[in-house]
């Protein structure tokens, strides 16, 4: 196991899932700061590019007011074909997403960015292919009633009941939860936060 640096380390995220994932690899931020950035996709922006750009902007925004710190940020984008499925904010939106994902494959793109204490930006991106089984109207309604979809990209949380919808997956499971642990370890080692 790699040894954590003693230098201050900030997780630039409001997601409790990302904090819990970091704890799985024994990385404990000294601070958690939620960045305030505009997350609207640019005209014609591809899902993979969006995830990477947003992770960069989050890391840079938090680093700007906290220089000389390590700052880790991430973003997750769910896409079905070219269509980006944002965080579900309403039950109607979540229902639309689940119907779209039913019986189909979709991709989950993760962008990870690290600002090191010298202000250098390091980035990584990853991609996970996920296939849902065909969902019945009852299954969709039961999931909507669970409220697990609230605020989740694509309208589902794989670490909850929606895990039972997954027929096939290729790539990082933790990426779908919110932070690829493999890629996070790699970027922390490359940025020399982990020795």
CATH number of the domain at 140, please. Answer: 3.90.950.10
How much is the average pLDDT of 44-64? Answer: 97
Q: For residue 4, is it within any domain?
A: no
User: Residue 6: pLDDT band by 50, 70, 90 thresholds?
Assistant: confident
Q: Tokens 């979809």, residue?
A: 149
User: Residue 1: pLDDT band by 50, 70, 90 thresholds?
Assistant: low
From 36, 38, 75, 145, the catalytic residue: 75
Average pLDDT in the chain: 94
Tens digits of residue pLDDT in 128-178: 999 999 999 999 999 999 999 999 999 999 999 999 999 999 999 999 999
Q: Tokens 């989740």, residue?
A: 152
Q: For residue 17, is it within any domain?
A: yes
Q: For residue 31, is it within any domain?
A: yes
Q: For residue 2, is it within any domain?
A: no
Tell me the angle at which helices 181-190 and 16-24 cross, rounded to the nearest 10 degrees. Answer: 70
Which is nearest to 130 in space by CA: 90, 178, 163? Answer: 163
Q: For residue 66, is it within any domain?
A: yes
How much is the average pLDDT of 20-30? Answer: 94
Q: For residue 110, is it within any domain?
A: yes
Query: 3-state class of 54 per DSSP?
Result: helix
Which is nearest to 19 in space by CA: 188, 186, 177, 161? Answer: 177
Contact 68, 87 (CB under 8 A): no
Which stretches within the chain are classed as H helix?
Answer: 16-24, 47-65, 91-101, 137-146, 173-177, 181-190
Which is nearest to 109 in space by CA: 83, 133, 88? Answer: 83
Residue 4 has pLDDT above 80, yes or no: no
Q: For residue 1, is it within any domain?
A: no
Range of the domain at 168: 9-190
User: Residue 74: pLDDT band by 50, 70, 90 thresholds?
Assistant: very high
Confidence at residue 7, expressed as pLDDT on a 0 to 100 scale: 77
Among this protein's residues, is 86 annotated catalytic? no
- DSSP letters of 119-147? S-EEEEEEEEEEEEPPPPHHHHHHHHHHT
Looking at the structure of the chain, the number of domains it has is 1
Confidence at residue 2, expressed as pLDDT on a 0 to 100 scale: 63
How much is the average pLDDT of 11-37? Answer: 94
User: Residue 11: pLDDT band by 50, 70, 90 thresholds?
Assistant: very high
Q: Residue 127 phi/psi, 5° resolution? A: -145, 135
Which has the higher per-residue pLDDT, 50 or 6? 50
Q: For residue 169, is it within any domain?
A: yes
Percent of the chain with pLDDT over 70: 97
Confidence at residue 14, expressed as pLDDT on a 0 to 100 scale: 86
How much is the average pLDDT of 14-26? Answer: 93
- DSSP letters of 72-83? EEEEEEEEETTE
Close Cβ partners of 72 (under 8 Å, ≥ 6 residues apart): 9, 10, 11, 12, 22, 29, 59, 112, 113, 114, 184, 187, 188
User: Residue 40: pLDDT band by 50, 70, 90 thresholds?
Assistant: very high
| Chain CA centroid to CA 60, Å | 17
């Amino acid at each position: 196991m790699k040894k954590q640096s003693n230098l201050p380390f900030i997780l630039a995220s409001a997601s409790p899932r990302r904090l819990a994932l970091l704890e799985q690899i024994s990385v404990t931020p000294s601070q958690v700061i939620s960045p305030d950035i505009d997350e609207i996709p640019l005209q014609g922006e591809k899902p993979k590019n969006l995830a990477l750009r947003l992770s960069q902007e989050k890391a840079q925004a938090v680093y700007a007011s906290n220089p000389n710190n390590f700052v880790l940020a991430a973003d997750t984008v769910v896409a079905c074909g070219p269509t980006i499925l944002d965080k579900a904010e309403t039950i109607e939106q979540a229902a639309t997403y689940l119907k779209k994902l039913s019986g189909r494959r979709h991709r989950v793109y993760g962008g990870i960015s690290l600002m090191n204490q010298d202000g250098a930006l390091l980035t990584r991106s990853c991609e996970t292919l996920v296939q849902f089984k065909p969902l019945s109207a009852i299954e969709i309604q039961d999931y909507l009633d669970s409220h697990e979809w609230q605020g989740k990209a694509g309208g589902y949380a794989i670490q909850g009941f929606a895990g039972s919808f997954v027929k096939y997956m290729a790539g990082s499971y933790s990426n779908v939860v919110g932070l690829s642990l493999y890629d996070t370890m790699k970027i922390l080692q490359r940025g020399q936060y982990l020795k």
